[in-house]
Amino acid sequence: MSSLLKKLLIVALAAPTFAFAQTSVDKVVATVAGEPITAQQVQERITVNVGLVNRDAGKAVKLTKAQQDQIAQGSFNELIEERVLLNRAKTVGVAASDTEVNAALNNIAQSQNVTVDALKANVVKQGGEKAWAQFNRDLKNDMTIDALKKQEVLKKVKVTPAEIDAWLTEQKMGPNNPLPKTDVAEVVHIYVDGTSAASMKKIQAAKARIDKGEAFETVGTVSDRKGSASTPLFIPANDEQADPAIRAAVGKLAAGSVTDVVKTKNGLYLFKAISNKTEELTLDEQKAMATDVLTQKKAQEEYKVWYTALMENAKKNLVEVK
């Protein structure tokens, strides 16, 4: 589930599930860089996380004491992490703009098949104007953290020509080992993170809009991968790195056609074929494939190092648990 819809859920749940602690909701339970985290904020996050458990199970789950403790501690840790990341963003001058936040609100509303005004009315009905203001703040915080990760990690990832050549050799590709001719689908796509009922509802709503004649690229603004509906991908029929369900869906897809929902382990897809032809990948296309694979791998490794160092420093200098 995307973090944006997770924030929306917080105002849609009826009541707290179990108490974080036998203490006043206004009690400060921790500070990060001098900014307080209250018991009430932890309680709200617990409510969200228990709601997610119930939604995924399709019913109200009776939690054991151990499960309650685990959710409570996880909710507390999430808030600490968010504050540390936001403090880092402030330090390095990263922040989501109002224009970006408004665009995200439009995307969220479209994913729910409503207008922004209707989305606001629903949130206000559940939790009042305060809830809508909090939703906007949480949304901006989420986007700021995403921007921070891109600046601190992704933009610093470099893939060298030597690494590309080594990867091509390992994969038996490159100028001396050209790929045999194969069916290659050129596609754009819409992606929804996760496979829950909420994720399925979102992707099915997108498919319904496309079936009614709305342009794929327009509907694609709801994708959890920015720009995926207008950025072509090349998927060879013999690409063992691609999910089998994806290869099967796009392999014989006629140009201009859109797949039904494609379910994978991590998420849900809609694909539109730009072309589908038999060809040999050029050396430049092979190098682009290598760059994408190596960039993703390096980014994951770099993020772990960056995040660990950031949190360890925060625990020493910024975080105080009351």
Q: Quick one: 115 and 252 in the same domain?
A: no
CATH number at residue 126: 1.10.4030.10
Q: Quick one: 17 and 95 in the same domain?
A: yes
Q: Quick one: 249 and 118 in the same domain?
A: no
CATH number at residue 200: 3.10.50.40
Computed on alpha carbons and rounded to an integer, the radius of gyration of the chain in Å comes to 22
Q: Quick one: 133 and 21 in the same domain?
A: yes
* Tens-binned pLDDT, residue by residue, of the chain (322 aa): 344 545 554 444 444 456 665 567 688 989 998 889 999 889 888 888 887 777 666 677 888 899 999 999 999 999 999 999 999 999 999 999 999 999 988 888 876 667 899 889 888 887 788 888 888 988 999 999 999 999 999 888 999 999 999 998 888 888 877 665 666 788 999 999 888 888 899 999 999 999 999 899 889 888 888 788 888 888 877 666 778 899 888 887 888 999 999 999 888 999 999 887 766 778 888 898 889 889 988 998 999 999 999 999 998 887 777 6
Q: Quick one: 7 and 68 in the same domain?
A: yes
pLDDT digits (tens, 9 = 90+) for 38-96: 998 898 888 888 877 776 666 778 888 999 999 999 999 999 999 999 999 999 999 99
Residue 49 lies in a domain: yes
Residue 286 lies in a domain: no
The answer to pTM > 0.75 is no
CA distance linking residue 166 with residue 220, whole number of Å: 35
**What's the pLDDT score for residue 19?**
61
Q: Give the range of the structural domain holding residue 261, as residue numbers without chain letter.
A: 180-280
Q: Quick one: 85 and 222 in the same domain?
A: no
Residue 162 lies in a domain: no
Q: Please state the three-class secondary structure of the chain as a single string.
A: CCHHHHHHHCCCCCCCCCCCCCCCCCCEEEEECCEEEEHHHHHHHHHHHHHHHHHHHCCCCCCCHHHHHHHHHHHHHHHHHHHHHHHHHHHHCCCCCHHHHHHHHHHHHHHCCCCHHHHHHHHHHHHHHHHHHHHHHHHHHHHHHHHHHHHHCHHHCCCCHHHHHHHHHHCCCCCCCCCCCEEEEEEEEEEEECCCHHHHHHHHHHHHHHHCCCCHHHHHHHCCCCCCCCCCEEEECCCCCCCHHHHHHHCCCCCCCECCCEECCCEEEEEEEEEEEEECCCHHHHHHHHHHHHHHHHHHHHHHHHHHHHHHHHHHHCEEEC
Q: Quick one: 22 and 122 in the same domain?
A: yes
Q: Quick one: 202 and 136 in the same domain?
A: no
Residue 300 lies in a domain: no
**Number of domains within the chain:** 2
**What's the pLDDT score for residue 22?**
56
